[in-house]
Amino acid sequence: MSEQVKIEQEQKSNVSAKDNILLEVKNLKKYYPVTAGFFKRKVGDVKAVDDISITLKRGETFGLVGESGCGKSTTGRTILRLTDATDGQILFEGKDITKLKGSSLRKFRRNIQMVFQDPYASLNSKMMVGRIVDEPIRNFTRQTSKELEPEVKALLSKVGLREEDYYKYPHEFSGGQRQRIGIARALALQPKLVIADEPVSALDVSIQSQVLNLLKEMQTEFELTYLFIAHDLSVVKHMSDRIGVMYLGNMVEVGDNNAIYKEPLHPYTKALTSAIPEPDPLKKKERIILEGDVPSPQNPPSGCVFHTRCPAAMPECKKVIPQLKEVRSKHKVACLLYD
């Protein structure tokens, strides 16, 4: 533990006390090349993430919402350096991490941990729960499993499992309990940032609320910052302080969670909030039904990427790419309607 404290102190001294920003993503781009033919000639790009910027303050939860294929998971994976960014900067505590290599990259990795979507696929079925949870610590320190046992057991009881569960294997647990194991593993290193990629979408509603509550409890206990990625706007709204709405690799709107829900500005956000079926049969709300499907990111529409499905599209939308602009206080939108 003493080693860890030392590293933390070191990192703290690098950052000025005033600096409250943990993560700053600047103009991040991630393109996947599309190849064809025998020589794998490059014929185009899939623009999974196209020029997005996010600022995350310490202790806050930033929610990323969007439909499948909008690039929200790619954003998370790029911040973790699981894939490398094509362009742009990711500043973690002021340091650009996109260029890190070797041992400095390895050292950095302990600061960010991830909770995955599928609790059935993300745990090694041949490993005991204790090994799964202590593996990240063993990876970064010289401590053995035996030395770590009390610490890991304490962590297990913190996430709502029992100490005996240390000796069990993943198949003995239900989906919700497995997700608790996944959360314990993410917290084992006491990271600063946790990226939760659809942590509850594979779970039933009654279990979903347990896991969401646990994530909130852990946030206060370990002073965590979350990047919370999900497609379900009601879940994201419940968890987040601020929300970013993504569409086809672009950030179309960023704002406080209430602002996004109460006064959505972008036509896409409006459609998204209205499409959520509310569990109240008496409230018949006006639905904005979007036509068609999300276009392919390999061949995105010109101008505003949403213009093909937008109910408020104007002729300019085909030509001009809208920029993210602050139109209300702390509420940014990328749409020509607000120019």
Binding region for other proteins (CB under 8 A): 67-68, 174, 176-177, 204-210, 212-213, 216, 231-235, 237-238, 258, 261, 271-282, 287, 289-290, 293-294
The distance of closest approach from Cβ of residue 281 to other proteins in the complex, given in angstroms and rounded to an integer, is 4
Dihedral (CA of 240, 253, 313, 87) sign: negative
Q: How far is the CB of 194 from other proteins (least distance, A)?
A: 19
Inter-axis angle of helices 129-140 and 175-187, nearest 10: 20
SS3 labels along 259-285? HHHHCCCCHHHHHHHHHCCCCCCCCCC
Closest contact distance (angstroms) between CB of 35 and other proteins is 20
Looking at the Cβ atoms of 135 and 256, the one nearer to other proteins is 256
Contact indicator for 48, 30 with CB cutoff of 8 Å: yes
Instruction: Give me the least distance between CB of 292 and other proteins, in Å please.
Output: 8
Given the complex with other proteins, which of 59 and 95 has the nearer CB atom? 59
Q: Count H helices, E strands: the chain?
A: 10, 12
In this structure, what token pair is assigned to residue 20? 């409250």
Taking the least distance from each CB to other proteins, the nearer of 87 and 232 is 232
Minimum CB–partner distance for residue 158 and other proteins (Å): 17
CB hemisphere CA count around 103 (13 angstroms): 0
Instruction: Name the residue nearer to other proteins (CB basis): 89 or 210.
Output: 210
Question: CB 321 → other proteins: shortest distance, Å?
Answer: 22
Within 13 Å, how many C-alpha atoms sit on residue 19's CB side?
A: 16
**24 or 67: whose CB is closer to other proteins?**
67
Q: Which is nearer to other proteins, 90 or 290 (CB)?
A: 290
Quote the radius of gyration of the chain (alpha carbons, Å).
21
Q: From CA 326, how far away is CA 255, in angstroms rounded? A: 9
**Residue nearer to other proteins on the CB measure, 96 or 278:** 278
- CA distance from start to end of the chain: 53
What whole-number distance in Å separates Cα of residue 77 and Cα of residue 98? 12
| In the complex, least distance from residue 330 CB atom to other proteins, rounded to whole angstroms | 17
